[in-house]
Structure 1
Amino acid sequence: MSDNFAAIGVFLIGAILVSAIMLVLPKLFGPKVRPNSEKLKNIEGGNETIGRTWVGFKSNYFLYAIVFTAFDVETLFLYPWALSFQKLGTFAFVEMFIFIVILLVGYWYAWKEGALEWM
């Protein structure tokens, strides 16, 4: 049992080390850039902006992305279930049916609330 915890600890330490190395390497070897007025200009599209630069976006676009991500991640649970479907039996089939019903209820609710309307 302690071997499992040791493996988790080694994995956690390795993940922290890799993250720290990835954060430090660009600071050490990346170009040293000093910002000046020319570099700080907004050149998106090559033209100076006319009017307000900071324009608000509708939150529906973000809601659409969040709903898509949630359903995309939830469908990942279907893949391992499908691979081991024959070994799992009737209980797993009923559980997956309940899971899919919950997904469909969530999809219906998002549709009803207008989260899936683009414009």
Structure 2
Amino acid sequence: MVDLTQYLPILIFLVIAVGLSAAFVFLPMGVARLTGAHKPDPAKLSEYECGFPAFEDARSQFDVRFYLVAILFIIFDLEAAFLFPWAVSLEEIGWAGWVTMMVFLAELAIGLIYAWKKGALDWE
């Protein structure tokens, strides 16, 4: 027979975590309901980010170039995330690590040149 008492601390931790999570989610909603903060009026529903009413549907389609620029940003942001640990550990990984990173940077440079030639970075 397996002794399950060793899992009791984990179970207690999970119960406390779920309880606190539920409290942080539902307690503010309950307090808002009791204090009357849930009653919207025209002042609460007015535009506050841009200062003027929306003039078209918020779910309109974006130009595909927006997505291309976003994807390129993510790619080169990840490149920067890979460069820092590589630079820190370059002494330990030696020439093999240096050559591997140069191949990686060359692939990214080829991708950037391709995107540039295709006009993905041109914004009109």
Relative to the length of structure 2, the TM-score reads 0.60
Match of 2:5 in 1: none
- Which residue in 1 is equivalent to 2:112? 107
Measured in 2, the distance between the counterparts of 1:114 and 1:24 equals 51
Higher relative contact order (CA 8 A, sep 6+): 1
The answer to whether structure 1 residue 93 and structure 2 residue 92 are counterparts is no
CA contact (8 A) 1:42 1:48 kept: yes
Tell me which moved more, 60-69 or 90-99: 60-69
Q: For the aligned residues, what is the CA RMSD? A: 3.2
Question: Aligned pair count?
Answer: 102
Query: Deviation digits for residues 32-80 of structure 1, max 9, x if unmatched?
Result: 454646244556544445xx52255423123212211221112211111
Residues 64 and 118, structure 1, Cα contact 8 Å, conserved in 2? no
Letter in 2 for 1:53: E
Q: For residues 118 and 83 of structure 1, what CA distance do their matches in structure 2 show?
A: 36
Q: CA deviation at 1:86?
A: 1.9
C-alpha change, 1:40 and 1:59, in structure 2 (3 Å) is farther
The Cα of 1:102 is off from its aligned counterpart by 0.8
Runs of 5+ consecutive residues of structure 2 not aligned to the other structure: 1-9
Q: Provide TM-score, normalisation by structure 1.
A: 0.62
Relative to structure 1, is the Cα distance of residues 24 and 60 closer, same or farther in structure 2, using a 3 angstrom cutoff?
Answer: farther
Compare 62-71 and 100-109 and name the one that shifted more. 62-71
Work out the CA distance in 1 between the residues paired with 2:95 and 2:51: 62
Within the candidate set 84, 87, 102, 2:89 is matched to 84
- Match of residue 53, structure 1, among 56, 60, 82: 56
Per-residue deviation, residues 4-47 of structure 1 (Å, max 9, x unmatched): xxxxxx8xx98xx58x82x7514322534546462445565444
Equivalent residue letter for 2:24: L
* Counterpart residue identity of residue 100, structure 1: L
